[in-house]
Amino acid sequence: MTSISQSSAKEEIKRVADIVQLIGQFVQLKRAGRNFIGLCPFHAEKAPSFTVNPERQTFHCFGCKKGGDVFTFWMEYHNASFPEALRDLAERYQVTITGKGSDGANERSQSEAIFKTNDMAADYFQTALGQSEKGVEARKYLKNRSISAETASEFRIGFAPDEWDGLVDFLKRRHADLSLAVQAGLLVPKKNGGYYDRFRGRIIFPIFDLRHRIVGFGGRVLGDALPKYLNTPETAVFRKGELLYGLHASSRAIREKGRAVIVEGYMDYLALRGHGLQEAVATLGTALTPAHVRRLKGYASEVLVVFDADEAGQSAALRSLPVFSEEGLPARAVVLPEGHDPDSFVNANGLERFLELLEKACPLFDFYLEQKMQESGSEEGKIHLLKDILPILSEVGSFPMRSLYIRRLSEKLGIGEGALWSELEKISKSPSPGERRDGIKEQVSACGVDRKLGDLQLLNLVVHHPHAVRRLMACEWKILLSDRTVLEIVETVFEQYHQRGQFSNDSVMDGLKSESAREQLREVLHRPFIYSEQEVEQAVVEMEGKARRKAISASLKEFRGDINSLNELLKLKACKQRAAGEHEGSRRE
Ligand SMILES: [Zn+2]
């Protein structure tokens, strides 16, 4: 029953959903011929190889080969299981899944159970914040930081009273499964049995994912206790290195403004938002990761990173530069005056002054160079600096930008531009391990390029011009193919055509056995047509001819092989006879 209702819901969603519109909310897409293209959200790249095809309602990345339909995208992008994706999309497109009530409980995955427990805990923390006595200090703290009641309720800010079993008791009263609360990182098991609260005496900031579900919590102490900030430990749904606080609320503004402002903590984020800056996000006390930057790339064309003036802030700025260059997202560094963080700055000086700082922000590379120069006074220091900076420079995609940086570097270090260019060239020539692998792949395909080209031509013809199939089937087509995955696809197409007199790309996709063949088929479907309608006839004639010629030369080869072995045999025989004759002769002598 379930599968029937689920599969019809799946069909219904596929019918009403528009893949370009859906993916477009997470990836910036541009029209390019039949397809839309953008930067892949699943691998690092500077030039778009991620394509979405509106006719077929599929996506495919020519870089990392990920691809599929709206469901595949949703599962990949949100780390969701198929039932989760089905439910999310059903909700989004208002498709009712029948029989959901009866089997929903069984399907509920561990992550969903964690979300539910988190939601309950957030209720508990929010209630505690509102309680007249218990929450008084916390409310005072938020008020002093200019966090309004509206902001507090929008972000479900709460308070964990300084008790060991406040949440434990609350969850027990709600008949919640406490072991799930342990998996959610909310409770800690005691040595002698039982549990205690992880968050105590802290303001609580629930952390949401892009689907507005609570994945974890951050807690800030009210007094001077340590640690100042405490986060949910890594759980099945809480991965610090991928999450950005506030992105669920800011993504629209980031897209509209084309820029994102990154700060370091939830208080900074909330203060800026309270003052009207909508396009901010915060990291959760971790350094920026490629996953963060990749996610932001889908919304912003530029990032402003706000750093504290202290040493930790500076070193975070330095570490983030390679991440931005590798992902090809331009970034500028905003440095606050000594002793300030964004929260204190905007509360003391207002948003206008903060926006002025944003305007004055310098490219992250310049900031990096400036900092490194201060560190490296000696000649040796300069060489050291070059070692750090040239690899980063080699990642800068735009040539004018690179030239500009080379000039600046040359001025700063007093080393000639020519020398710097030649050093840079050396680095660009010794590829990183990842590139080396790609390089080998490229070489291999370059050797086989002729052979492979023939395969791809035939595949393109078969897939995009189904009316050519009947004639191609009749010729010795197998002889034209050298690639096993292409062979699998063409064979499946011909089989289906033979059995049913027709085929569809979906039925072929379902009929393929290997993942590599499915990948290959998706790829060719996202590639432009090689032949126009007028050229199809000519292409078929050429392929028929080529197949004939290849078949003849193959049999000739066989024939020549036969002749050769016959000659060999004769030679051998003659040899033996001669040897026998000589033997005879020597005996006679
Ligand atoms: Zn990709």
Query: For the segment 339-350, what is each residue's pLDDT rounded down to a tens digit?
Result: 898 999 999 999
- 232 CA → ligand 1 middle, Å: 30
CA 566 – CA 577 distance, rounded (Å): 17
> Mean per-residue pLDDT for 550-554?
83
- 140 CA → ligand 1 middle, Å: 48
Four-point Cα dihedral 196, 201, 202, 203, nearest 10: 120
Bridge partner residues of 261 (DSSP): 280, 304
- 51 CA → ligand 1 middle, Å: 9
The one-letter amino acid at 15: R
For 350, left (φ over 0), alpha (ψ -120 to 50), or beta? left
359 shares a domain with 405: no
- 39 CA → ligand 1 middle, Å: 8
Residue 427 CB contacts under 8 Å (≥ 6 apart), including other chains: 390, 391, 394
Q: Which residue has the higher pLDDT, 137 or 570?
A: 137
Here the tokens at position 425 are 């060239």
> Mean per-residue pLDDT for 330-345?
90
Lowest mean pLDDT: which of 155-159, 225-229, 252-256? Answer: 225-229
pLDDT of 129 higher than 80:
yes
Using an 8 Å Cβ cutoff, are 212 and 162 in contact?
A: no
359 shares a domain with 260: yes
Pick from 211, 238, 265: which residue ends a domain? 238
CATH number at residue 260: 3.40.1360.10
CA 573 – CA 567 distance, rounded (Å): 10
205 shares a domain with 62: no
Residue 316 CB contacts under 8 Å (≥ 6 apart), including other chains: 264, 287, 288, 307
Name the domain count of the chain.
Answer: 5
Query: Can you tell me whether residue 482 is helix, strand or coil?
Result: coil
CATH number at residue 6: 3.90.580.10
Specify the pairing of strand 259-263 against strand 280-282: parallel
116 shares a domain with 99: no
- 38 CA → ligand 1 middle, Å: 10
- 195 CA → ligand 1 middle, Å: 44
131 shares a domain with 192: yes
Nearest to 301 by CA among 335, 361, 259, 272: 259
pLDDT of 274 higher than 60:
yes
CA 455 – CA 482 distance, rounded (Å): 7
Phi and psi at residue 512, in whole multiples of 5°? Answer: -75, 145
Specify the pairing of strand 195-197 against strand 302-307: unpaired
Query: Can you tell me whether residue 207 is helix, strand or coil?
Result: strand
CA 125 – CA 131 distance, rounded (Å): 10
436 shares a domain with 573: yes
> Mean per-residue pLDDT for 20-36?
92
207 shares a domain with 103: no
- 293 CA → ligand 1 middle, Å: 14
Residue 87 CB contacts under 8 Å (≥ 6 apart), including other chains: 97, 100
Bridge partner residues of 214 (DSSP): 208
pLDDT band at 429 (very low <50, low <70, confident <90, very high): low
347 shares a domain with 411: no
- 63 CA → ligand 1 middle, Å: 5
- 60 CA → ligand 1 middle, Å: 8
Using an 8 Å Cβ cutoff, are 493 and 562 in contact?
A: no
153 shares a domain with 94: no
- 50 CA → ligand 1 middle, Å: 6
435 shares a domain with 413: no
Residue 51 CA from chain centroid, whole number:
14
- 27 CA → ligand 1 middle, Å: 12
CATH number at residue 132: 3.90.980.10
Q: Above pLDDT 90, what percent of the chain?
A: 43
- 14 CA → ligand 1 middle, Å: 23
Count the neighbouring beta carbons within 10 Å of the beta carbon of residue 457: 17
Residue 325 CA from chain centroid, whole number:
16
pLDDT band at 440 (very low <50, low <70, confident <90, very high): very low
Here the tokens at position 173 are 């009263």
- 44 CA → ligand 1 middle, Å: 7
CA 448 – CA 482 distance, rounded (Å): 9
Using an 8 Å Cβ cutoff, are 206 and 226 in contact?
A: no
Nearest to 383 by CA among 372, 392, 393: 372
- Position 449 scores a pLDDT of 52
Bridge partner residues of 50 (DSSP): 38, 61
Residue 486 CB contacts under 8 Å (≥ 6 apart), including other chains: 455, 456, 458, 459, 520
What's the whole-number average pLDDT of the chain?
85
- Position 213 scores a pLDDT of 93
- Position 41 scores a pLDDT of 93
Pick from 78, 107, 136: which residue ends a domain? 107
Can you state the angle between helices 515-526 and 449-464, rounded to 10 degrees? 70
- 20 CA → ligand 1 middle, Å: 16
- 540 CA → ligand 1 middle, Å: 34
- 445 CA → ligand 1 middle, Å: 19
Specify the pairing of strand 158-160 against strand 202-208: antiparallel
Q: Is 535 exposed, middle or buried (0-12, 13-18, 19+ CB in 10 A)?
A: middle
Pick from 68, 87, 107: which residue ends a domain? 107
For 36, left (φ over 0), alpha (ψ -120 to 50), or beta? beta
391 shares a domain with 345: no
Q: CB-side exposure of 51: number of CA atoms within 13 Å?
A: 19
The one-letter amino acid at 362: C
- 103-112, 306-315, 428-437, 526-535, range with greatest mean pLDDT: 526-535
- Position 2 scores a pLDDT of 40
- Position 436 scores a pLDDT of 38
pLDDT of 463 higher than 60:
yes
Here the tokens at position 208 are 């949401």
> Mean per-residue pLDDT for 442-453?
50
Specify the pairing of strand 259-263 against strand 302-307: parallel
- Position 104 scores a pLDDT of 45
pLDDT band at 409 (very low <50, low <70, confident <90, very high): confident
Using an 8 Å Cβ cutoff, are 290 and 327 in contact?
A: yes
Domain region containing 457: 431-589
| Strand extents, DSSP E, 10-101 | 30-32, 35-38, 50-53, 58-61, 67-68
- 519 CA → ligand 1 middle, Å: 13
- 416 CA → ligand 1 middle, Å: 39
116 shares a domain with 103: no
